[in-house]
Structures are given as structure tokens and as C-alpha cells.
Structure 1
Amino acid sequence: MTSVVSTGLQRNFHSITTNTSILVDPSRFVRRYGVAIHAYLHALISSEHDAEEVEQDLLLQVVERGFPDGMGRRGKFRYYLMTVVRNAALAYFRKKSRRPVTVADLSSIPAAQIADRAWDRSWRECVMKNAWLALRSHEQRNSGNLFHTVLRTSIKHGDEDSTMLAVRVSCATGQELSPEAFRKQLSRARRKFSELLIEEVARTMRAATPEDLEEELSSLDLLKYVRWQS
């Protein structure tokens, strides 16, 4: 584990509690990660209508009953959830074919192989989206804060210097911003986004250690954003 990443994770780890886990709030889970389930099921099941029906049944079950305690005390929720969604698809295929259908049968479907490859990508997009939404909410709650705006602007116009970027932000917000003030806001915005990203990933894990978080961030290709804290 690199010292930069370790320091960033350790600095934020103690502010993350088990109460932030999406496992304890099923309705919150549906809002934050329903998109990943939707994409996966629709890749597995060719019928749009049937995929929608399976998705609605699964989400309703999650909201009404929560999640079975199938992860144990520790684990990555995205792996566990992938199994849950695959089982829902298996149940659909069993009902449709009126014969036993196994995981091996499901894996032999070309669409399933495509869906499996896309699962982590969809999950990563959900994590990033939730972190961006949290950063925007932070900006809206704090007068004078432009974290979301300056970070989005710097990414969209990465070839421009701080003078031009400051002008863009000033025009967009009506708040005059000098190049120096822009650079300060950008540095703090990157740090805050890193913190929010770590917190979001931690919500999808049980009993995670800093090492567990780094492994998950790495597998989702998100470590580069944590390194923004350096």
C-alpha cells in the first residue's frame, strides 16, 4: 500500500461508521444502486417487459424485506448483489423453461458474459455519480463554496490554465473568482471529492478496513481520485 493512499484512507476511515452502510437502509440502496441492477438484468434478459418485471419484483423484495444476512460479517456488497441479481434471473429462466436451470446454464448465454463484464463498470459509474451528487450537495449547503463547480470545470476544460478556468467559473456563478482563489477551491474540492468517494465505497462494504477499501478502490479503478488528496 502506498504511503499517499494509506494516509488518505486512514485520515477519513474513522469518520465512516457501520451506520452509513446501504445494507441498513434498503430504500436508500434502491435510490443509489438501482441503475446497476437495471443494466445487469436488461443485459441478461432479452425481453424488455420481462426484465422490467423481474427488476420490479427484486427491488420490491429488497425494500420490503431488506437483505438476507448472506454476506457474513465482512464482504464486498457488489459481489453479493451480483449473486442476488443472477439468482433472480435464474428464477426467471427456470419459470420460463419449466426445467432446472443452473448458474452454468446462465453463464453459457452470450448476453450473460457481456453483462458480467459490464457489471463492475456500471457499479463504478454509480459510485462516481453518488460522490458527485454528494459534492454538489456540499456546495449547495455552504455559502461561497464552489467545489462541485470548479472541479467539474477543471475536468471539462483540462487544457486551460487557472486564469481562464477562473473566468469560466465566475461567468457561470456570478461570483468573482481570482486565479489564486480558483486554485485554492480546486485543491480543496479534490480533497473533499476523495473523502466522499471513500465514504461511498465504504457504504458498499461490511466491516471494511483501510486495506479493504484500498483494494476495492483499486479494483474499480478509483484510486487515482484518492491520490488527489496528496
Structure 2
Amino acid sequence: MFREKMYFMYNGRRSTDFGIVNCSVDDGLFREDFFSSRSINETSVAGIDIPHFEGVKREPRQLKLRFWMSESWDEKKISEIADWLDVDYYQPLSFMPEDYVYYCLPVDVTEIVHNGLKEGYLELNMRCDSPYKYSPITSLHQIVDDYKTVEIRNTGRIKITPEITIVKKGNGDITLSNLSNFNGKPLTITNLEDGEKIMIDGEYETIQSDKYGNSRYKNCNEEYLWLVYGVNRVKVEGGCHIAFTYQCTHN
């Protein structure tokens, strides 16, 4: 929920830098979308009254926002605000105190509603890149001598795959097993060299080595690590310095 929060960050800047606060001009109650809109995919067949259900399509989330300009503005201030909000790609939006992050950009018409005395508010629609909102980025660093079990908490009900950075200690293999994901298989990378740095992005299924580029695919079984809802007990086998970077995904 963000309607009751006054301050926010967007595109790397704080709203207070521009004298802007999040506001509501309704009847005193806050209205927010519970989750993003969705539509039903189905096929109709002649002569059959009941269509064939094929699934649900979730639409990207849209946020209707009003930002009150707490200070009188001039053309310079309006120009600065326009430069800040006029982006060509999705930028992070978070309301403080920070809880969730939305990746969004303004669409449709952005309006200034004012009283003619250089006082008023901005009204704009933000379209997100997905139906979801995200937790702040979390990084978990661990040093493993031989093997170690690491606990990673996924607070979202949607499974995610973290970015993994491994710096090998000694020559050998690395195996990662999520003991909490009964449907998952261990991720194994073999024949790594001492000091070699490996970066794994399970979402895009990429594996990069600082020594051998993308040629480490042949040493990997490509069973990427997935984090399910709740506490994930990840067993790390093989000496290394390992970091898990992730964002939990929420409806």
C-alpha cells in the first residue's frame, strides 16, 4: 500500500528534491488496485456454448498517481520536474519508508491541476513492466570452505531465481542444491579454477566466466537454482566465496 505515504523516489531522485509529495484528493479513503487486471484466454467452438479455457493473461500493473507540489512553482521548476519524469524506459519507483519497488514509466496524458496561483498537483498514470511489485534488492554473501547450508527467505509467493556470483577457492566443482524445493535439481559447474569468477543469471539462463567468457556452459548442467515461497535451505558444496542477489516478487 502506498497511498498513505507522502514521499517517494523515482528515477534515482527523491520527491523532496522537487518539493513534491504523494497525495489524495478523494473522500478521505485511499483506493488502490488489489492486484493487476487480467483477462481470460479461451477459444469458442461453433455449436458449443461453453468456451475452451486456455489460461489467464495478467496485464502489467498501472498506477494512478497524484503528486502535490508543496511549493509555488515557476517555469524552471516545472522544466526540472518534466525532465525527471519524462523517461524512455522503466525506472524504479518506491514510496518511503521503502517496502516495494515498481518499475514503471508515465503513459497517456500527464496533467497539472492548479488554482491559477502556481499551486496544485500533477496527475499521471504509470505503467509497470509487469503485473508485479518487488522487494528491494537483497544480496547475501557467504564464504564456504567445503560445504555449507545457507538460508534464503523468499517473501513473495512467486518463485524466483537469483543472480549468483561465485569466486572459486581452489580447483574443482561447485554444486548448489535447494533442499526446500522438492521439484528442483542440483546446479553443478565442474572444473573451475582457483580464483575464477562465475556469474550465473538463471532468469536469462546465462553463465559468464571472467577467464573464459561464456564457454563454461559445457561445464554446467544448466539446472538453475529456484527459490520457492518461504525459507529456502540452499546447500553449497565446494570451496568458494558466493553471493546471491535477488528481489522477491509480489502480486
**Normalised by the size of structure 2, how large is the TM-score?**
0.28
Say which structure is richer in strand: 2
Q: Looking at CA atoms only, which structure, 1 or 2, has the larger radius of gyration?
A: 2
- Where relative contact order (Cα < 8 A, 6+ residues apart) is larger, the structure is 1
Say which structure is richer in helix: 1
